[in-house]
Amino acid sequence: MGFGDIFKSGFLENVTAISVLDMVLVLILSFALGLYIFFIYKKSYAGIMYSASFGVTLIALTMITALLILAVTSNVILSLGMVGALSIVRFRTAIKEPSDIAFLFWAIAVGIVLAAGFIPLAVFGSFFIGIIILIFSRYKGFERPYILVVHCEDSTVEKYVYDYLKQKVKKTSVKSKSVVPGCIELNYEIRLKDENTDFINELAEFPGVSHTVMVSYNGDYMS
């Protein structure tokens, strides 16, 4: 090995391994599809508190994944090293909404497919997935559950409230019951017959009922 071999490096050779057109095209398409995923996420979100930062993360994740896969596909040695590096990464951020996992995988999948060169698959696949998510997220059936919180004075009022609810709703069940002197707090899971919720107003006027609250139940029950 000569003195000149010490300064010989394959770094400059990698500069032209990926064309500028490919880089620009992948960045633009990944940004556009990431923005589309963010739009679908915002329109279909059904949780309690919407997180704008998570939506921005979806855009960034799509672009970062695309850049990463684009580099890996141009260098076999780099791909092996990248697999080893990613295998030691641990993400401990809790996912609050189950649907968020699907959006994370969607963003990663789009970045991978784009960088692999399957542009029509990424575009039409994302469009189809987005339409399906919007259709099902906008479906509002009466079968969705609600949590009804009622404060009663005694067991007599409690029984009267339960009998009344059985007549007015399609299904009801007690989720929890808390008793303190002079007050019984009941949490019911109910399913409505239709969109009419006037029975809540009537329930609040019952003698012995001091408090009524009905909220949409998204799957995370808090007592």
Tell me: the pLDDT tens digits for 5-19?
444 445 555 555 667
Model confidence band, residue 93 (pLDDT cutoffs 50, 70, 90): low
Give the pLDDT confidence score for residue 175 in this predicted structure: 85
- In this predicted structure, the answer to whether residue 202 has a pLDDT above a threshold of 60 is yes
Q: How many CB atoms lie within 10 A of CB 82?
A: 15
Going by their DSSP bridges, the two strands 146-152 and 183-191 should be labelled as antiparallel
Give percent of the chain with pLDDT exceeding 90.
Answer: 13
Q: H or E stretch including 174?
A: strand 171-180
Model confidence band, residue 221 (pLDDT cutoffs 50, 70, 90): very low
H-state helical runs in the chain: 3-6, 11-15, 20-44, 52-73, 76-86, 98-115, 119-137, 155-168, 198-204
- In this predicted structure, the answer to whether residue 207 has a pLDDT above a threshold of 70 is yes
Between 49 and 12, where is the model more confident? 49
Q: What are the structure tokens assigned to 99, written together?
A: 């649907």
Q: In the beta sheet, which residues pair with residue 180?
A: 183
Q: How many CB atoms lie within 10 A of CB 165?
A: 19
- Give the separation between CA 33 and CA 118, rounded to whole angstroms: 13
Give the pLDDT confidence score for residue 31 in this predicted structure: 94
Backbone angles phi, psi at 211, to 5 degrees: -160, 135
Q: What are the structure tokens assigned to 62, written together?
A: 């799509």
- In this predicted structure, the answer to whether residue 85 has a pLDDT above a threshold of 60 is no
Give the pLDDT confidence score for residue 222 in this predicted structure: 41
Taking a C-beta distance cutoff of 8 angstroms, is the pair 58, 34 a contact? yes
For residue range 138-179, list pLDDT tens digits in order. Answer: 765 546 788 888 888 888 888 888 888 888 888 888 888 888
| Mean per-residue pLDDT over the chain, rounded | 77
Helix, strand or coil, per DSSP, at residue 96: coil
Taking a C-beta distance cutoff of 8 angstroms, is the pair 122, 26 a contact? no
- Short-list 117, 97, 10, CA closest to 50: 97
- Stretch 66-72: mean pLDDT, rounded? 81
Residue corresponding to tokens 């329109």: 43
Give the pLDDT confidence score for residue 28 in this predicted structure: 92
Model confidence band, residue 125 (pLDDT cutoffs 50, 70, 90): very high
Q: H or E stretch including 152?
A: strand 146-152
Q: What are the structure tokens assigned to 33, written together?
A: 């599809």
Please give the C-alpha separations between residue 15 and each of 5, 12, 18, 23, in angstroms, as whole numbers: 19, 5, 7, 12
